[in-house]
Amino acid sequence: MEVLQYKNLIDGVWQEAACGQTVEIHCPCDGALVSKAPSSQAEDADRAVAAAKRAFEEEDWAFNPRLRSQCLSAWAAAMRANHEHLAARLALETGKPINEARFEVNSSIGYVEYYAAAARTLYGTSTAVEPGLLSVLAREPVGVVAVITPWNYPVTLLMRDMAPALAAGNTCVLKPATQTTGCTLAVLELLDGIPAFPKGVVNAISGRGSVTGAVLADHPDVDMISLTGGLETGQAIMKTAARTMKKASLELGGKSPNVIFADADLDKALPFAVKAIFMNAGQLCTVGSRLVLEESLVDSFLPRLKAEAEKLRPGYCMDEQTNLGPVISQEQMDKILGYIDSGKACSTLITGGYRLTENGLDKGFYIAPTIFLNPPMDAAIVQEEIFGPVLTVQTFKTKEEALAIANGTSYGLASAVWSRDIDKAMWVARRLRAGSAWVNCYNKLLPECETGGYKQSGMDRAGGTEGMLKYTEVKHLCIDFMR
């Protein structure tokens, strides 16, 4: 396997970290070394921010929506032309099955194409307040935006955040997750083939978040920070960003309920329930980790769910037959197994509950799909984000009880309700305390649709029109036409 060496991108130039050190990126499937990237320090972050600030002030990017649209369209086309290469690098660094990696690359291209078109639709308003006096509200870019991306969906979440920031006229400094730096920088390498893209508009520095991420959050020349990550990281970023009063957009953790009534289309709900929790080995902020099931379905639906979970095929990420990959690291695996042990002590284990080691899986970080029945509401496996292939099933008798269970955590990122009775489904959906409430479907994460969190799941929205408007400031212009 070829080990690829990546570099930082600063002001249009690919370069090593100033300290000359690198970080190694290993495949979670077998521990093989797949990539190396710079171990950036504060000096590298400062230079990247300076380049972004220069480009914002000196290039016409902020005031040329046609250029932004053309450049983003060209980037999407380049990603499509290099789809298989990007998917392979993504699979090797995350361990996710190659088919899931292909899906993620396609999803990310969709975001770039959507915001390439949206770049030319940014609008304001005007009002004639009195004769000769016009009040105008104009949308303007924030300035320099720092984008910090996670390791679970590094390509999709890169473009979900960076594409609208660029479309709105901002310049960017990217800090990718250390574990998936290579596949993220591989997307940026495609900019070399787009001469119209002004140098310095997109910059990227790799390295540990405790170093470079902290610098970006506190940097006086960074005007906004956009983070997708865990609750503790979000809290730290928010606290640091407050020192310079920069805007912060945060999508944090989730503990999302998937409510299924007995009158639902169960044949449709079943595969969605399986995929909602076990895709990407459960490493997804919107993962449906809490199945809230009408009590009368326990003896019929639960055995079917168990059987489907046990059919999943773990294996090497590049195997076309694999549909269950490893979790990202030893640390993450140990954390998940700890939650599983706590679940065994307070609830009924339906399936799974152990590390997979047969047929060479012991070289990676594989966990059997795990299902628990009726843990108490205060159990850690119910209240805390596990970020692994662990599903809790809690039962209810009335819609009011279902709603209380669904809203019974400090998170509020996503949710779903299944019922043929649309009045009942909408009654629940409108009362779910979550930024997304899907009805008779799950995880419909589309470029056109806004997502985001209530409560401790964050603030602001990603996707759709709101996902671009958050990267703008509103300026009031008062124009006196009287001579």
How many whole angstroms separate alpha carbon 140 and alpha carbon 68?
A: 14
pLDDT tens per residue, the chain (483 residues)?
A: 689 999 999 999 999 999 999 999 999 999 999 999 999 999 999 999 999 999 999 999 999 999 999 999 999 999 999 999 999 999 999 999 999 999 999 999 999 999 999 999 988 899 988 888 999 999 999 999 999 999 999 999 999 999 999 999 999 999 999 999 999 999 999 999 999 999 999 999 999 888 898 899 999 999 999 999 999 999 999 999 999 999 999 999 999 999 999 999 999 999 999 999 999 999 999 999 999 999 999 999 999 999 999 999 999 999 999 999 999 999 999 999 999 999 999 999 999 999 999 999 999 999 999 999 999 999 999 999 999 999 999 999 999 999 999 999 999 999 999 999 999 999 999 999 999 999 999 999 999 999 999 999 999 999 999 999 999 999 999 999 876
SS3 assignment, position 47:
helix
CB 205 within 8 A of CB 51: no
Active site residue 285: yes
Buried/exposed 161-189: b ≥16 CB within 10 Å, e otherwise: bbbbbbbbbbbbbbbbbbbbbbbbbbbbb
**pLDDT at residue 151, rounded to an integer:** 96
What global pTM score does this model have? 0.96
Q: Say which of 113, 285, 294, 385 is annotated catalytic.
A: 285
| CA angle 268–153–280, rounded 5-degree value | 45
**Among this protein's residues, is 441 annotated catalytic?**
no
- Residue 150 has a pLDDT of 96
202 strand-pairing partners: 172
Among 93, 100, 251, 294, the active-site one is 251
pLDDT at residue 483, as a whole number:
61
Give the whole-angstrom CA distance, residue 90 versus residue 86: 6
